[in-house]
Amino acid sequence: MSDKSLNRELLQIPHVKISGKGPNLLLLHGWGLHGGIWQTILPKLEQNFTVHNVDLPGFGKSQFHNQDREPNYDINYLIEMVAQILPERCHLMGWSLGGVIATALARKFENKIEKLITVASSPCFVANEDWPYGMNQQVLESFIGYLSEDFKATLNRFLMIQTMGSPTQKEDVAQLKETVFMYGLPSEKALSGGLQILHDVDLRQTLQELSIPLLRIYGKSDTLVPLRSASLVTELVPDSRLSIFKKSGHAPFLSQSDEFMDCVVDFLNN
């Protein structure tokens, strides 16, 4: 093992694969997955951007080391980890949980971020009294509880929910399942911590404080981030751009990859 590899492990710098040419674009995947989920659109991204494809800690090739010494797996920890690999200037694109992290990063490091894209993401994933359009709190809490009993089965169930409503659900599920176990099982601590972030997060004020261009992408049939929540986010960031994919659920970059790419390139290049 080289000194550089050893240092990366000791410092727990997330794994990032850099490819392509053009302006920097850093990608953040969703819960349970890793950077491999972007493979469908990666070739086209590489034609336009220098892509920094990140595996969040505990997923893909960013497995934990010395787990008993790990800090809490919360949003502040993930921001700290990803901040280590942020280019000096870049665009950010985050899907689902990755969109939450990307939003928080963009607010904290606005001097480094050119534009932000959130995909099937929400400042509040759980519904409450003043945020009616989100995931049922008891459902999410049940997933957190099931993780300790059989986290592989729970992960598979959550992947199924992510593809509900998509006309290409069968193909989407197959791709998600093939991707998630490509590098072995994700860390149980990362899985439970990621779900807890989705349970606790409220970035409404953070969104309102953003001063960089923002594109929000939704799938019309998304069951995790209901389309009805888009209007609430528009009230928070009226100057943001909104794009709705009518034949998609929670993963529009899988079910409508060509249209998705056109939307992303148009926003980032103009």
What is the rounded average pLDDT for all residues in the chain?
89
pLDDT given for residue 150 in this prediction: 82
Distances (CA, A) of 167 to 33, 153, 223: 21, 24, 13
Nearest-angstrom CA–CA distance, 167 and 175: 14
76 or 3, which is more confident? 76
2 or 220, which is more confident? 220
Residue 62 is among the residues annotated as catalytic for this protein: no
Q: What is the largest CA-CA distance in the chain?
A: 53
Q: Is the pLDDT of residue 4 over 70?
A: no
68 or 121, which is more confident? 121
Architecture per CATH, 3-269: 3-Layer(aba) Sandwich (3.40)
pLDDT given for residue 154 in this prediction: 82
Q: Is the pLDDT of residue 130 over 70?
A: yes
pLDDT given for residue 102 in this prediction: 98
CB-CB neighbours of 244 under 10 Å: 14
* Catalytically annotated residue among 15, 222, 229, 255: 222
Residue 52 makes CB contacts below 8 A (sequence gap 6+) with: 16, 17, 18, 24, 25, 26, 27, 85, 87, 90
Sequence ranges of the domains in the chain: 3-269
Residue 193 makes CB contacts below 8 A (sequence gap 6+) with: 58, 72, 73, 74, 77
Nearest-angstrom CA–CA distance, 82 and 94: 12
pLDDT given for residue 122 in this prediction: 97
Q: Is the pLDDT of residue 2 over 70?
A: no
Phi, psi of 37 (to 5 degrees): -65, -20
pLDDT given for residue 157 in this prediction: 82
Candidates 169, 144, 164; CA nearest to 154 is 144
Residue 269 makes CB contacts below 8 A (sequence gap 6+) with: 48
What number is the average pLDDT over the span 92-113? 97
Give the pair of three-digit tokens for residue 31: 């819960």
pLDDT tens digits, one per residue of 181-239: 888 888 888 998 999 999 999 999 999 999 999 999 999 999 889 999 999 999 999 99
Per the CB < 8 A criterion, the answer to whether 159 and 173 are in contact is yes
Per the CB < 8 A criterion, the answer to whether 94 and 123 are in contact is no
Candidates 4, 130, 13, 133; CA nearest to 63 is 13
* Catalytically annotated residue among 62, 96, 166, 248: 96
What number is the average pLDDT over the span 30-41? 94
Residue 250 is among the residues annotated as catalytic for this protein: yes
Residue 68 is among the residues annotated as catalytic for this protein: no
